[in-house]
Structure 1
Amino acid sequence: MNRFENKVALVTGGRSGIGQAIARRLRDEGAKVFTAQRGEDEEFDAIKADFTDPESPQRVIEEVVERAGRLDVLVNNSGMMIEKSMEDISIEDWQRNLSINLTAPFLLIRAALPHLRKTQGSIVNTGSVEGLASNPNHTAYSASKAGLHGLTRAVAVDHGHEGIRCNAVAPGWIDTDLNREMIENSGDAKAFRRDIKRIHPVGRSGSPEEVAALVAFLAADEAAFITGQIYTVDGGRMTQLSLP
């Protein structure tokens, strides 16, 4: 399939994990893909950006359009997580989490809107199941992802009449390098993997490529009547009730 032939996509945090899988999927379906993050990206045209800096989003969008002439797809995938309790998290950590997970997507979308109007473009945000529920000590992360889900709906409502769609995916446990490292450092990796399988009705965790497949569908023209939706990608985890 070449659903994105002659189209230009920007994927933030596209150097690794879910973002890398999304960037590869869009590229493999014909898109010219840019990624934006702190470090270098040897696989894609990369733009260095620190998304705690409120001036970075505008600069990134302008550079994409300057280099490619247009923007058709914006994927807000960059994110971070701080594991601290409500009482222990500092205001600096709280603000940094919100800056990267929520404020940067807002600023990127705002900067991209004039260009997406021209192309009848699409926005896909990477939310989280923790925007719907929460794990312990994820106060800032859960709040920021819930906010991103709300932003997704608001953008869809305000800009649908302009031909701009905005949706979000909410991944659960995905086999990224970061999560695999967490398992190996858990103290009992075998038990951790057993427990991960147990909480998923499908009997396993997900892959970045499975998330990327949904993102590509939502960004494509065949999803033209879908907007303002939050799609959970979690192998049924949020559906299964825990045992008493």
Structure 2
Amino acid sequence: MQLADKVALVTGGGQGIGRGIVERYLEEGANVVVAQRSRLDAELEERPDVAHVPVDLSDSAALADVVDRAAEVFGALDILVNNAGLMAEHHISELPLKDWQRMEAVNVTAPLFLSQAVVAHLRKRGGGSIINIGSVEGMLTNPAHAAYAASKAAVHGMTRAMAIDLGPVGIRCNAIAPGWITSDLSEKYLDSKENPVEARSALRDLHPVGRLGQPTDVGDLAVYLGGDHSGFLSGEVIVLDGGRTIRLPTPD
């Protein structure tokens, strides 16, 4: 029970990577507050160690209030996981300003100002951990992802700067940069291919570990970063991609 007696605030924790983090945090004994627009499903909603605080993370004026409300639920906060994010695909020549602004608001502004708001609560506990969910696309990227890649690169840089500012008060800041993580959206994408079985096989072959990532893989790392065993780790961006980005392509 690595997170016993700890309270975590996880944005976008109802599905995908966020859900994997929430599930692992609960298994390790934490109480979890999920901040997101949509309601939780029945499985989470019925648990006494889970609470939901509704929020539109693109509304910067709501960020400080949502942290205070989250801290009230279980009486404290020890961990903030900035997980929620958006991705809209546009070629750079066709990127609308409104999509850029909304993506940056949710992916960059919200993590920054949620982190600012949580500092006072973490200091009451003698310190704590802030975990930002970045992406391998903050380092390498795909076509039509200029806005998304920019936002995740910003998250990585912000994480390092936050670690410097907050280290003296006992708050560690790290980022997880996931690669391909299985989700409803990724499965829909693979199912859209002419031969889904072949597409999944080819994708698996890109990963030296021989499989695709799961949300709980990110959750496992988030448990370590949120717990006391990572007390000397701060300011790092940890790539979690099954080795995919270290593998050079080979000629046919």
**If the length of structure 2 is used for normalisation, what is the TM-score?**
0.94
Alignment of 1:173-184 (within 5 A): 173-184=180-191
Give me the whole-angstrom Cα distance separating, in 2, the residues matched to 1:87 and 1:161.
Answer: 44
How far apart in 1 are the matches of 2:21 and 2:167? 24
5+ long unaligned stretches in structure 2: 45-49
Q: Which position in structure 2 is the counterpart of 1:159?
A: 166
Write the mapping of 1:1-244 to structure 2, written as runs, cut at 5 A.
Answer: 2-42=1-41, 43=44, 44-119=50-125, 120-244=127-251
Measure the CA separation in 2 of the matches of 1:112 and 1:151. 15
Aligned to 1:50, the other structure's residue is in SS state coil
Q: Hey, what's the Cα distance between the residues in 2 that align with 1:208 and 1:90?
A: 31
In 1: Cα distance, 2:209 partner to 2:7 partner: 35
Deviation at 1:171, TM superposition (A): 0.5
Give the Å deviation of 1:190: 2.1
How big is each residue's C-alpha offset from its partner over 1:139-167, in whole Å with a ceiling of 9 and x where there is no partner? 11100000000111010011101100000
**Residue range with higher mean Cα deviation, 134-143 or 179-188:** 179-188
Structural RMSD (CA) = 1.0
CA distance in 2, matches of 1:65, 1:200: 40
Sequence identity, in percent? 44
Superposed CA offset, 1:176-207 (max 9, x none): 12211111123331232122112111122111
Letter in 2 for 1:76: N
The separation in 1 between residues aligned to 2:106 and 2:22, in whole angstroms, is 19
Q: Secondary structure at the match of 1:235?
A: coil
For residues 208 and 71 of structure 2, the distance between their equivalents in structure 1, rounded to whole angstroms, comes to 43
Matched position secondary structure for 1:25: helix
Between 177-186 and 131-140, report the one with greater CA deviation.
177-186
Deviates more, 1:61-70 or 1:101-110: 61-70
CA deviations on 1:32-72 (whole Å, 9 max, x unpaired) are 10101110013031111111111221121010112222110
CA distance in 1, matches of 2:73, 2:181: 33
8 Å Cα contact 2:23/2:216 also seen in 1: no
SS at match of 2:187: helix
What code does the residue aligned with 1:169 have?
I
Point out 4+ residue stretches in structure 1 off by more than 4 angstroms: none
**Which range moved further: 136-145 or 62-71?**
62-71
State which drifts further: 197-206 or 209-218: 197-206
